[in-house]
Amino acid sequence: MKIGFVGLGNMGFAMASSLIRNGQTLIVHNRTRDKARPLVELGALVVDSPAQATEGVDAVVTMLPDDAALEQVTLGEDGILAALGPDAVHVSSSTISPRLSQRLGRLHTENGRAFVAAPVLGRPEAAAQGRLVVVAAGPARAVERCRPIFDAIGSVTHVVGEHPPRANAVKLAVNFVLASLLATLGEAYALVEEYGMDDRAFLEILNGSLLKSPIVEAYGAKIADGSFDSNGFRLELGAKDVRLAVEAAEAHTVPMPIASVLRESFVAAMAAGEQDVDWSAIGRVNTRRAS
């Protein structure tokens, strides 16, 4: 396939690299052009606008940080929608609000174009290895046409229907569960530490003998070691996802009391200047003691 790709953050860059390694032809655009330079060495063509990354492609993938960025890239000057061909598909892998997903789906349909929401589950290292989990929703024919994209970046694709916002709601719900897990692990560590228990030893009991989850193992180790580097999923983006989950719930009068408390923890972390570290740092926000 000939694919446009817009947005080369940590996840977007890894996804684009995986697509190239799987034999796809890539045209890429990023606001900061230097981030695309390593992809040129792999064979990608770098262009100056979202529209240029969209013209003549079979599909254009967007991987952007928030609603505002996706809306601007799609609907703004030199945007995707105006340049998208009648047989091409806009694949939005960004974690965005169901509200915006619904609006973009409607606008694409009104213009005779196809829009597929396909947010992904996993970290950048999984994307680079083609091991993401893809959650896709949109017109059935458009979803099937994008299978080569999903197969290149992911190990499994869950198609959840033809209504794009459904995929975005699933992504927000998953990230809410993960964020809750991070906060819970930190509180559990704080309790056992007060009774002289080592965090890693507790993790072995919890995960080694009970949960047996690679997610718990990886994030549990990060929180235990205080290893909150900036190469993974930034805490600021985790805060945005929890906020979107709360807003999506409020739109349908769905009570989410845990999510509301969790949102305040993320705000506290950002107030402490931790917006750029890995979001697993949320596990320590509520358990810090005065030194």
Q: How many domains does the chain have?
A: 2
Q: What is the CATH number of the domain that holds 56?
A: 3.40.50.720
pLDDT score at 151: 97
Residues 147 and 23 in one domain: yes
What is the pLDDT, as a whole number, of residue 1? Answer: 96
Same domain? For 122 and 189 the reply is: no
| Same domain (yes/no): 76, 177 | no
According to the model, what pLDDT value does residue 200 have? 97
pLDDT at position 57: 98
Provide the pLDDT for residue 229: 84
- Please report whether residue 261 resides in a domain: yes
The pLDDT assigned to 231 comes to: 75
The segments of the chain whose pLDDT lies below 50 read: 291
Last residue of a domain, one of 135, 162, 189: 162
Same domain, 243 and 145: no
User: Which pLDDT belongs to residue 155?
Assistant: 97
259: in domain:
yes
In a domain, 86, yes or no: yes
CA–CA separation, 6 and 80 (whole Å): 10
* Residue ending a domain, choose from 133, 162, 191: 162
Catalytic pick from 2, 35, 171, 212? 171
pLDDT on residue 290: 55
Q: Which of 162, 178, 199 is the last residue of a domain?
A: 162
250 and 158 together in one domain? no
Q: Has residue 43 been placed in a domain?
A: yes
Strand ranges across the sheet with 59-62? 45-46, 25-29, 2-6, 59-62, 89-92, 114-117
- Together in a domain, 22 and 97: yes
Active site residue 171: yes
> Does one domain contain both 121 and 229?
no
Q: pLDDT > 90: what percent of the chain?
A: 96
Domain co-membership, 180 together with 118: no
The residue range of the domain holding 91 is 2-162
211 and 245 co-located in one domain: yes
pLDDT digits (tens, 9 = 90+) for 129-169: 999 999 999 999 999 999 999 999 999 999 999 999 999 99
Q: Is the same domain home to 186 and 121?
A: no
